[in-house]
Chain A
Amino acid sequence: MNPRGARIDRRVVAGILAGLALATTSARGDFRPVPGREYHETLNATNRVRGEAVVAIVLGPTVEAQRADTIRVRLPVSYSGELRVEVLSADGRFRGEGSFTGSRGAERWVALRLGSGGDKEPPADATRPVSTETLALSVHGADGTLYVARWGGEASVPDDRGSLRIYVNSGRADIFIVPGAAKAVHCRSLTIAQPLRYDSYCDVPLANVPADGKFKLIRRDQFEEQTQTFSVYLPRE
């Protein structure tokens, strides 16, 4: 009826659509592989020497989820920058490594696609030795902060369910974990003959994670004890 009005309507619609698209992108967040440092998995690779007691923090790992090629990582609000993903076996024989860059949107758990399949879901690597005890997943930020990650691409999990599995390199000694002011809990030693990257893991229910995320690790080598503290970023948004 009114050709001018119709033109305005089109512009409005186009603007709304563009805004929606931007909003959606921002809400989903967008992390893409860093060119030249895409994720890849290797067997019997030479490992770089690292110096960290807490190797990885994974939420509720399952063998089924470990077979998937999507992982999720819990990032702080407005996180922007690089993420270094590492999948590692306790004996150091298997390693997957890659870097991603981008920024966090509205979702707390950001999905990262392992492999170079782009949007297409890549097939699971047949050589990945899935095991909730001996295969860990670590995601470090650009400043070296270790973030909580989980296997699989499910959108979200209730905050107070499940438990954190903390993979620790104890240097072949007994390890105890103390969440906040709670009692020390004995961590389990792995039964593999030659652990290289880590040799124990501690299960901490999410309900027991202190608000400030601070933990204490106690290493007991026969009759000597040593202590370390570390923090887990897991805010209740």
Chain B
Amino acid sequence: MSTEVQQSKPDSWTKRIVLTVMTAGLLAGVVVVALDSLDRPAGSGTLSISAVTGSLTLEPLCDESVTWDLPAGRVGRRSVAPGEPGYMTSAGAVTMMLAAGSRARVTSPDPGVLRVSVEKDDELARRCPSGAHQPYRFVLDGGPTVADPVGFNYESRTGTQTGPNRISLPISGHLIIGQAVPEGADWRARLAPILVTGSILRRVKPWFSHDVLTVGDPERLDEGSIVDSHACLDSGGPGTSPASGCSAEQLAPAIGFIRTLSEGELQVQMYARGPASLQNYRGPQHLVEVPLSTALWESDTVKLWGAFFLLLFACLEQITQVIRETYNLLRKGWDKVINRVPPVHPETQGSGVAREHAPIGGSKPAEPASAIERYHLLEHVKPPDRKKTTR
């Protein structure tokens, strides 16, 4: 008997430990999941990125296309080798259509000059299930151009005789602002089209709200930095393709526009869902995003309810005490009210009782319930002879 008790004790301890560990694990899991969820980008978050830059790279995403009407200029077929005829064509109007699988690099090295280099990227094209048949197309003066397997170069004509000096172009897709300053290679020195200045603003629509708020301080962009709208700069290993970790078909495009500046360079305004990435000159990439927690903390409704529940939990003991005392007070008051009610007259009560318990024919008469009843019963059976006694 005693050994069974001894065995049952360790069993109960084991059960307790197991239960405690399981509960702790469950709680830890819930906390980890909650924190992980809060750290994810908020669906309602937007990054407003404005910059002055020498270059911008655009890669249209799957099922997206960008069409640009460009001023008069010259177009070159990149596959044509130097010295061979057919490289350059001049046109009064140039329309450029870009689709998934193409990459366009826009620069403005001199005032009033816009340059675009378009090339094909097979890897980008492979990621799109539908697959664009022609990643880029040029229309010169209304007629289609011949295709080129490598790509095209475009340069707007200098001098403002035949076209506008400043132009604006819409942009949509995966965007990279700026570039690294390349190492020397014994080529003629030129100004590298790097990012000059800019800033990133974080905006969010808080939970249960229709307003859009600007949160945090603006992120200032250093000269020579590189901004990637989809944080693909560092996704792979060193030297790997930038988009290897970024699934183009699952991304929402960053949108905006570019405008050529009269003094050269490009003014860029774009909006990205994020996370975007920022890489200072030869530094590591760091993410710029609006996490879900920001949308949560910025919500007035959540704050109000949070404060309410916080107050509730903080004052739980006091509130319990107040409720208990109130209950006691009410109970006492109720008891007093009950005790103040006047007692019912014994006679009416007794006769009623007697009538209620009137014997049914043939049955035994009911027993008197109390002393008063017994008294009255006795009186009924033997009524007092007042005359006799008074005599």
Within the complex, the shortest CB–CB distance from A63 to chain B, in Å, comes to 12
**A194 engages B240 (CB within 8 Å):** no
B250-283 interface (Cβ within 8 A of A): 279, 282
A91 touches B239 (CB 8 A): yes
Decide if B63 is an interface residue (CB 8 Å cutoff).
no
Looking at chain A, what size class is its interface with the partner chain? 35 or more
Smallest distance from the beta carbon of B116 to chain A beta carbons, Å? 9
Determine whether the beta carbon of B238 is less than 8 Å from that of A225. no
Q: In the bound complex, what is the Cα–Cα distance between A173 and B327 (angstroms)? A: 85
| B117 within 8 Å of A (CB atoms) | yes
User: Please, which residue of chain B has its CB at the minimum distance from the CB of A230?
Assistant: B186
Q: Are A192 and B240 in contact (CB under 8 A)?
A: yes
From the candidates A51, A129, A220, name the one contacting B185 in the complex (CB within 8 A).
Answer: A51
A131 and B239 within 8 A (CB): yes
In the complex, chain A residues whose CB is within 8 Å of the CB of B91 = none
8 A Cβ contacts from A88-111 to B: 89-94
* A222 contacts across to B, CB distance below 8 A: 76, 115, 117, 153, 155
Proximity bits, A195-237, B CB within 8 Å = 1, else 0? 1110100000000000000000011111101101000000000
Instruction: Judge whether A189 is part of the interface by a CB distance below 8 angstroms.
Output: yes
Residues of B contacting A135 in the complex (Cβ-Cβ under 8 angstroms) = 239
Q: Which residues in A have their C-beta under 8 angstroms from that of B83?
A: 184
Within the complex, the shortest CB–CB distance from A151 to chain B, in Å, comes to 15
Contacts of B76 in A (CB 8 A): 222-223
| Per-residue contact bits, chain B 67-92, to A (CB 8 Å; 1 contact, 0 not) | 00000001010110111100010000
Question: What residues on B are CB-neighbors of A10 within 8 Å?
Answer: none
Closest chain A residue to B155 by CB distance? A222
> In the complex, A189 Cα to B151 Cα: how many Å?
11
Binds A, one of B226-234, B292-300, B346-354, B376-384: B226-234
Contacts of B155 in A (CB 8 A): 222-223
Pair B184/A51 contact, Cβ less than 8 Å? yes
Q: With contacts A89-B239, A193-B176 known, is A226 near B188, CB below 8 A?
A: yes
Q: Does B10 reach chain A (CB closer than 8 Å)?
A: no
Q: Contact: B88 with A223, CB < 8 Å?
A: yes
A134 near B240: Cβ-Cβ < 8 Å: yes
Are B185 and A223 closer than 8 Å at their CB atoms? no
From B84, B176, B184, B239, contact of A50 by CB (8 A): B184
Give A94 to B232 CA distance when docked, in angstroms: 18
B-contacting residues, A151-188, CB 8 Å? 168-174, 176, 183-186
Contact A197 B183 (CB under 8 A): yes
Which residues of B lie under 8 Å from residue A131 when comparing CB positions?
239-240
Cβ contacts under 8 Å, B186 to chain A: 51-53, 228
Known: A129-B240, A169-B185, A196-B180. A186 touches B233 (CB 8 A): no
Decide if A183 touches B179 in the complex (CB within 8 Å).
Answer: no
Cβ of B119 within 8 Å of any chain A Cβ, yes or no, is yes
- A86–B103 Cα gap in the complex (Å)? 31
Residues of A within 8 A of B117 (CB): 222
Give the residues in chain A near B233, CB-CB below 8 Å: 193-194
- B185:A191 contact, CB within 8 angstroms: no
Query: Is the pair A193, B238 in contact by a Cβ cutoff of 8 Å?
Result: no
Cβ–Cβ contact B239 & A192, under 8 A: yes
Taken together as a complex, chains A and B put the C-alpha atoms of A199 and B233 apart, in Å, by: 16
User: Closest approach, in angstroms, between the C-beta of B272 and any C-beta of chain A?
Assistant: 16
Residue of A nearest to B55 (CB): A172
Question: Measured between alpha carbons, how far is A170 from B239 in the docked complex, in Å?
Answer: 17
User: Who on chain A is nearest to B174 by CB?
Assistant: A193
The minimal Cβ–Cβ distance linking B185 to chain A, given in whole angstroms, is: 4
User: What residue in chain B is nearest A135 (Cβ atoms)?
Assistant: B239
Beta-carbon contact of A184 and B74 below 8 Å: no
Cβ of B11 under 8 Å from chain A: no
The reply on A2 being an interface residue by CB < 8 A is no
Q: How far, in whole Å, are A194 and B226 apart by their CA atoms in the complex?
A: 9
Q: Let me know if B179 and A218 touch, CB within 8 A.
A: no
In the assembled complex, B123 has its CB within 8 A of some CB on chain A: yes
Query: Are B183 and A169 in contact (CB-based, < 8 A)?
Result: yes
The answer to whether B305 has its CB under 8 Å from any CB of chain A is no
Q: Tell yes or no: B284 within 8 A of A by CB.
A: yes
- Report if A43 contacts B (CB, 8 A): yes
- Shortest Cβ distance from residue A66 to the other chain B in the assembled complex, whole angstroms: 11
Residues of chain A within 8 A (CB-CB) of B124 are: 191
Q: Contacts A52-B186, A53-B185 known; A223 to B179 CB distance under 8 Å?
A: no
Is A49 positioned at the interface, with any CB of B under 8 Å from its CB?
yes
B121 touches A193 (CB 8 A): no
Distance, CA A85 to CA B109, complexed state (A): 37
Contact of A129 among B121, B238, B282 (CB under 8 A): B238
Please give the residue numbers on chain A whose beta carbons come within 8 Å of chain B beta carbons, in ascending order.
Answer: 43-44, 46-47, 49-53, 89-94, 127, 129, 131, 134-135, 168-174, 176, 183-186, 189, 191-197, 199, 218-223, 225-226, 228
Q: A49-B184, A171-B187, A226-B188 are in contact. List 4 more A-B contacts (CB 8 A).
A: A174-B153, A191-B123, A191-B242, A222-B115
